[in-house]
Amino acid sequence: MALQQIAFSFDDEPVNKKPEQKAAVPQKPLPEKIKARGDNKKTTRGRVSLKQKESGADLIEVPEDEILFQKKYYAIGIVADMFKVNQSLIRFWENEFDILKPRKNGKGDRLFRPEDIKNLKLIYHLLRERKYTLEGAKEFLKKNKRTDEKFELIQSLKKLKGFLNELKADL
C-alpha cells in the first residue's frame, strides 16, 4: 500500500487531492416509539391516566339481559373484552369478592354465568365509577344486601335519561 501525503488547507478553496472515504459507522435504528414521539416527554409505560379511565367507564360493552342470558357460560377472555380490562384483573376480583363464583371446567378454565357478569358489572361500577377502594366495596356489598336491585334501578334510570336526552336533541 502506497503512502499518501495529506495536505490541509484552511482556506475555502478545495484541495485537488482525492477525498478520503470515511468508514461508515453502522448506527442502530431508533425504536419506533422514540421516532414517532419526537419530543422528550416522559413515557407512561402502559399506564392509563385517570382522565382516560373515567372516560372509559362509559364504554363497557355488556349486552342487554336478553342477549346475555342466551348463553349459559362465557369464557374469561370474552368477559374481559366486555369490560375492557385484563384477564388478570378479573381473576383478582374473583379472589377478592365472595359474590363472584365462576365455574371451572376440568382444564381449569373459568366459565362465567350471566349472573357472574352482572356481579362483575356491579363490582366494576363500585370500583371504577364510584371510586370505592377494594375494602370499601367489600364493606358496601356486605352491608347492603339489596345492592343489585338498587344497581339495576340506577342502570334503568341511566338508560331512560339517555333516551330522553336523545329525544331532546332530535327536537
What is the 3-state composition of the chain as percent helix, strand, coil, each rounded to the nearest 5? 50, 5, 45
Rg (CA), the chain: 30
Amino acid at 138: K
Provide the 3-class DSSP secondary structure of residue 111.
Answer: strand
Mean pLDDT of 117-144: 89
Q: How far apart are CA 135 and CA 152, in angstroms?
A: 22
What is the SS3 assignment for 110? strand
Identify the three-state secondary structure at position 74: strand
Query: Cβ distance 79 to 88 under 8 Å?
Result: no
Whether the predicted model's global pTM rises above the 0.85 cut = no
SS3 of residue 89 by DSSP: helix
Q: pLDDT, tens digit, for every residue of 8-62?
A: 666 666 555 555 555 555 665 655 555 555 555 666 666 666 666 555 555 677 7
CA angle 155, 161, 163 (to 5 degrees): 105
Ordered by where they begin, the domains of the chain are: 59-170 (1.10.1660.10)
* Confidence grade of residue 96 (pLDDT, cut at 50, 70, 90): very high
Q: Choose the most confident range, by mean pLDDT, from 43-57, 99-113, 153-167.
A: 99-113
Residue carrying C-alpha cell 485537488? 16
Instruction: For the chain, give the mean pLDDT.
Output: 78
